[in-house]
Amino acid sequence: MNTNKKRNKLIVTAIMTALLVSPMAYSVSEGHAVAATSVSKYKVNTQPFSIEGKKSSIGTINKNGSTYIALRNLNTALGLTTNFNKAIQLVSVSGNGRSLEVNLVNNAINLNGQPVIGPQVILQDNTTYLPLRFLLERMGYVISYQNSTKEVSIQGIKENDLQVKAEEIGADGDGKSLLVYYPVIKGYGNEKVQHKINTFLKQETDKRIMAGSKEMDAVVKANNQLLAKNPKAAVRLPSFDGRFTVTYNENGKLSLYVDYYLYMGGAHGITARIPYTFDLTTGDLISLKDAAGNADYVSIINSQIQKQISSRNLDMYIPFKTIEADRDYYLSHDGIVVYFTEYEYTSYSEGMPQFVIPYSKFK
C-alpha cells in the first residue's frame, strides 16, 4: 500500500484532552458511585429535544455550561442498550456497533476495548449522570443546539457497515513500559479490503512500537548505569503508549488517527499524531488532494486556517503561511480537519489546534 511521506516528527508535549460538553445519565442504586461528583443538589430543568425528528421534553442538569441528562430517557428513541452491573459498579451502553463502559468506582471509561479520557460522573437522586455530547458523539450521533428554539437536536449518522475495535499490545519489564491500542476493522462486507487495511495498520503499529522501544532503550541504559553506581538512585522509567480515535466512517471512507506518546523521564512526554484516511472500495489511503477534490485545495485550506486563527485569537509564536501539499489531515462529519502539531506554531498550552474546513468550501 502506497502512502505519502509525512512529517512524522515528534513534538514535546503532555497529553491534554478537552472534555466535551453536553451530558446524560443512568439510574443506579444509592452509594455506589465513589468517583462521582457529590456536591450540593443540582437543579433539574425541562429541556426541549428533537431526537431523530421526534419532539420531547426531558429533565436535564446544567453544570458549568454542560448539559446532563438521564440516559433512561433516551434509550427507546435512540435504540441504545444500557445496563448496570451493581456487583462491579459498571454502567454499559451499546449500539451502532459500539460499546462504552463506565466504571463508577474509579470513573474509568472504555470504548470498544480501549480506555478513553472522559468527564467525572455526577450522582444525584440515585441516578448517575454522564455528558450527553461526550457519550453520543462517540456512539455515532450528531448533536446541535438551536438558539432560536432552545432545542437540543440529536440525529444519527448514516455510517459504513463495519466496526472498529481495539487490539492491545502491552509489555512491562526491562526498565520500560509499553501499552498500545491499535484499530482493527471487523464485520465489513469486503473481506479483501478489510484484510488489506488491517494488515497495513498492524504493520504501521509494529513500526511505531519498534521506533519507540528503540528510543526508550537509550534511557534504560542510562538508568541502569546510574543504578549501578547508586542502587538507591531515583529513576523515571520510560514508557510508550498509543491510542486511536475514529473520526469519520461515512460515504465509503474511514478516517482515524493514532496518538503515540513517548515519555523519556523528563517533565513532559513526546506525542506524535499519525492520521489515516482509507477508501473502503480499494483499501488505499486517500491523499489530502483527493479528499478535497479541488485543485486549489491548498489555497482554500490556507485561507480558512488564517480566518480561524484570527477568529479564535490564537497566540502564534511563528506566523502561519501555508500548509504542505501532502499535509497530514483526517476527516470529520463536518469537514476536512488540518491541525498544528504541538509547538509547531503555538505554545504547549494550545495543544494541537485543529481547523475544520467545511466540505462546502471545496465545491
Confidence of residue 287 (pLDDT cuts 50, 70, 90): very high
Q: How many CB atoms lie within 10 A of CB 361?
A: 15
pLDDT top residue among 65 and 331 = 331
Where along the chain do the CATH 3.30.457.10 domains lie? 24-156
**DSSP E strand stretches across 187-280:** 239-250, 253-263, 269-279
Indicate the range of 94-98, 220-224, 346-350 predicted with least confidence. 346-350
Average the pLDDT over 233-251 and give the result: 96
Confidence at residue 149, expressed as pLDDT on a 0 to 100 scale: 87
Q: What is the pLDDT confidence band of residue 38, given thresholds at 50, 70 and 90?
A: low
How many CB atoms are closer than 10 A to CB 189? 10
Give span(s): CATH 3.30.565.40, the chain. 158-284
Give the C-alpha distances (Å, rounded to integers) separating 73 from 22, 49, 150, 273. Answer: 15, 11, 19, 37
Cell 444525584, located at residue: 124
CA–CA gap between residue 127 and residue 123 (Å, rounded): 6
- What is the model's pTM? 0.85
Look up cell 543504578; give the residue.
227
Rounded to 5 degrees, φ, ψ at 282 are: -110, -25
pLDDT, residue 33, reads 40
Q: What is the fold of 287-363?
A: Actin; Chain A, domain 4 (3.90.640)
Which pLDDT score is estimated for 232? 94
- At 300, the amino acid letter reads I
- Quote the DSSP letter at residue 189: S
39 pLDDT band, cuts 50/70/90, is low
Cβ-based neighbour number of residue 174 at 10 Å: 13
Which of 355, 356, 281, 360 minimizes the C-alpha distance to 320? 355
| Whether domain 24-156 has CATH 3.90.1170.50 | no
* 32 vs 18, higher pLDDT: 32
pLDDT band at 35; cut points 50, 70, 90: low
Rounded CA separation 351/105 (Å): 30
CA–CA distances in Å: residue 9 to residues 248, 255, 261, 268, 343: 24, 21, 12, 16, 11
Question: Could you read off the pLDDT of 90-136 as tens digits, one per residue?
Answer: 988 899 999 999 998 888 999 999 999 888 888 888 787 888 888 88
Q: Tell me how far apart the alpha carbons of residues 3 and 88 are, in angstroms, rounded to a whole number.
A: 45
Question: How many degrees, rounded to 5, is the angle at CA 97 between CA 139 and CA 67?
Answer: 15
Burial classification of residue 203, based on how many CB atoms lie within 10 Å of its CB (0-12 exposed, 13-18 middle, 19 or more buried): exposed
Region(s) of the chain under CATH 3.90.640.20:
287-363
- Please say whether the beta carbons of 269 and 15 come within 8 A: yes
Percent of the chain surpassing pLDDT 70 = 88
Least confident of 55-59, 69-73, 284-288, 314-318: 69-73
Does residue 31 surpass a pLDDT of 50?
A: no
Taking residues 86-91, what's their average pLDDT?
90
Quick one: cell of 214?
528503540
Confidence of residue 2 (pLDDT cuts 50, 70, 90): very low
Rounded to an integer, what distance in angstroms lies between the CA atom of residue 172 and that of residue 214? 15
For domain 158-284, the CATH architecture is: 2-Layer Sandwich (3.30)
> Region 43-68: what's the mean pLDDT?
88
